[in-house]
Each structure stands twice: as C-alpha cells, then as structure tokens.
Amino acid sequence: MPLFWVVTHAVLAIFAVAAAGALMRRFNWLSEEADSSLLALTVRLLMPCLNLKVTMESEALRRPENLLWPPLLGALTLGLGFGLAYLFTCFGRRVTGLTTDVERRTFRFVAGTLNHGYIPLPLVALLFDEQTLGVLMVFMVGVDLTFWTLGVLVLTGGLGNEWRSKLFNPPSLAVVVGVTLNLTGLSHHVPAFLRDAVGLMGPAAVPVGILLVGAITADHLANVRWREGHAPLLAAAVLRAVLAPAAILGLAVLLPLSPELKRVLVVEAAMPAAMFSIVVTRYYRGDGPLAVRLVIATSLLALAAIPLWLSGGLTLLGLR
C-alpha cells in the first residue's frame, strides 16, 4: 500500500476513536463527572506505565544522541511555535483579527502549542517500532518543560507558582526512571510480575486518553461561535499546517539526528494545537472561546495535513 494511504489509515483510526468518545458523551455513556477521574487515571497511572515500559526496554535510548537531542528538540519545536505565533500577532488586527491583549496572548499560546502526545503516540505505535516510541517519550519531556515555563509566560506574562509542580508530572518522571533503569541495567532486576503489570496497564493510556479528548471536544462544539471571525483561524491554520511543519522538517533535514528522532520530528511536524491548551487557557483566564475555536479548527485541518506532511517528510528523509 502506498505510504500516503498507510498514514491516512492510521490518522483516520485515531480520529475514529475520538469520534467514539464524542458519541459516548452524546449518549451520556461517558459523563462529564467521569472526566476528572479518567484524566487522573490516565496521567497518574496509565501513561506513566506506558512510558516506563517502553523507556526501560528501549535499545535506542542507550545511545547518547537519543537522550540529548530529543528533549532539546522538544523544547525547541514548542518555542519555535510560540515565536511564529508571536510574529503573526505583530501584524495586527488586519491579519489576525485579534483586538485585545488577552486575545493576542491566547492566540500565541494556543496556536503555538502542538499536540505532542495523544496523536503522535498512537501514530508512532502504528507506523514504527518501540525504539521510535521510546525516543518520542524523551522528546515529550522537553515539550512539557517548555509548555509549563515558556508557555505559561506567553499566556499570562509571568510564571506564577503552579508551574513548578507541573514540571514534575508522573509521565515525565516515569521517563526519567525508565531511562535510568535502562542505562544502569537495573531493568533486568525488576520482578517479572511488575513488568507484566506495567505492560498490561500501559497500552490502555492512549485509547482512554483519546476517548476523553473526543468527549471534551463534543462538549465544546455546540458552544463554538464560528461566525465571530475567521482571521484567527486562518492564521492558526497557516502556522500549524504550513510554517511550523516546514520549519520542523528543516531541522530534521539539517541536523545530524538518529533515524528514530527524525521519524519523531516528521510525526510532530503537522500536529494541530494541543487540546490541553484549552484547559490551561481557562485556568489562567485567557480567552476560552477563542482557544476552543483554534484547537478545533487546526484539529480538523490535521486530518488532511498530517498524511500529506508525514508521507512527504518520510519520503524526503528516506525513512519509508
């Protein structure tokens, strides 16, 4: 099967799971009251189990280049997104349609983020091997670090006090523990029943997380006012589907990176704005409705953008 259709099928499978979550919300099989529990289950148990299982067994993470470059590039790609979004807002209302400082800060934050987890994780799992998956998890540590420092600064103008606790989140800590066990050889001394338990729970993280994203998206769709103006959506679309992918693929072409990390960059290149940025925008009193519109618009566009950029990028880099 041609590479483009392989990628398209993988993308459609992920969005089909999200659609299932939206239907479950519509029929009230997945209630809003369950959201906080499912989120806590995913972030504090399932995702750490997945990260621990993959990182403590990955041969690719025993190579120094796959421990140093991924977090650095994770931070760089997110910082690049914030920088591009800032440049858009410098053109003023005529280009972006943004009139207030809150709207501009929200745009810089939301359009600058990339969905670095729930779409890339299953895509990498479906298209590549566990070695690439392990590198992706180390990459995500750099993204998380930048999200809770530079991202909060972009959105609010200051860091506040909450960012410190967010840096030491369970998924990132699991990556650190897994890599340490891997490098020291202690992973071989982990009791078999614990390895099996972690292996049973970890794979549930992705489908549960995507179902939850679909349900939360369904909550927002009915309240989105699409006729408020299309300029911010168009600006975000150009940023996330054209400029950011081109810049990230440029890094993959120019830098001396491992094949696993190049695959990660290709996957991350065309990601839409992160759904979680809606939650953070509301928490820090940004423009919630604008955040919802930007995330939904870029996510819908990603249905077409991801197969195009991913298949084209893999072919360009000779990673088919």
> How do residues 29-47 score in pLDDT, each as one tens digit?
988 888 888 888 988 899 8
pLDDT tens track for 160-210: 666 566 667 888 889 899 999 999 999 888 999 999 999 999 989 888 888
The token pair that represents 122 in the structure block? 């299953």
Domain count, the chain: 1
Q: What is the pLDDT of residue 168?
A: 73
Angle between helices 130-146 and 120-127 (to 10 degrees): 160
Q: What is the pLDDT of residue 218?
A: 81
Q: Cα–Cα distance between 235 and 96 in angstroms, integer? A: 6
The token pair that represents 110 in the structure block? 């939301």
What is the span of the domain harbouring residue 296?
3-316
Q: What is the pLDDT of residue 284?
A: 80
pLDDT tens track for 253-296: 999 999 999 999 999 998 999 888 887 887 788 888 888 889 88
Q: Can you give the pTM of this predicted structure?
A: 0.86
Helix (H, G, I), strand (E, B) or coil at 2: coil
Q: With 70 as the cut, is the pLDDT of residue 24 above it?
A: yes
107 vs 7 pLDDT, higher one: 107
Let me know how long the chain is. 320
CATH for 99: 1.20.1530.20
DSSP tag of 228: G
**Residue 316 CB coordination number (10 Å):** 14
